[in-house]
Amino acid sequence: MYHSSEHGHVDITIDVRSLGVPWTLHTWLESLRTCFIQHRRPLIQGLLKEFSSIEEDEYTEELITHGLPLMFQILRASKNEVISQQLAAIFTQCYGPYPIPNWSRSKGSSHRVWMVMQYLYYGGTEAVHIRNTDIMELLSAAKFFQLEALQRHCEIICSKNINTETCVEIYNHTKVEIMRSN
């Protein structure tokens, strides 16, 4: 299994797994990376479902240094809601049973990433509380990570709160986003 995953033979790796050989974090990540590179969405979905079968003692630094960036890459590239939900479940599982930190107190450039993580952790926008001053930042992050539901939620909040003080900021943000997409 290790050899086949290391050399990109994902079909062989999955066949070996079906024989009962357990995933290691490394073989799972290598298989996920290969499927992502090869644009094999159904296999990506299957692998994401299999994450829960990896023993927690396998959660090593590799999960943080290689796994999370890969999963965020998949999240950015995927327009598939099932994959987004599976990734949200993995992020939740990795976070554990601990309460969510107070996201609104985060500072700096990581603030919008924390707000996105809150959205992923809760699996939707119902429990996400966003200050009006943060909405444009979150809208940019939602667009960057291609989280259409969160993006739409932010757009609705912006449209409800538009007034003479916020219209220039919303206009400038929209102009920048249009320029980025062209």
pLDDT tens, residue by residue, 34-87: 999 999 999 999 999 999 999 888 888 888 888 888 998 898 888 888 898 888
Is it the case that residue 105 has pLDDT exceeding 60? Answer: no
Answer with the residue of higher pLDDT: 62 or 145: 62
Answer with the residue of higher pLDDT: 29 or 88: 29
Give the burial class of 137: count Cβ atoms within 10 A of its Cβ; 0-12 exposed, 13-18 middle, 19 or more buried: middle
pTM confidence score: 0.57
- How confident is the model at residue 10, as a pLDDT? 96
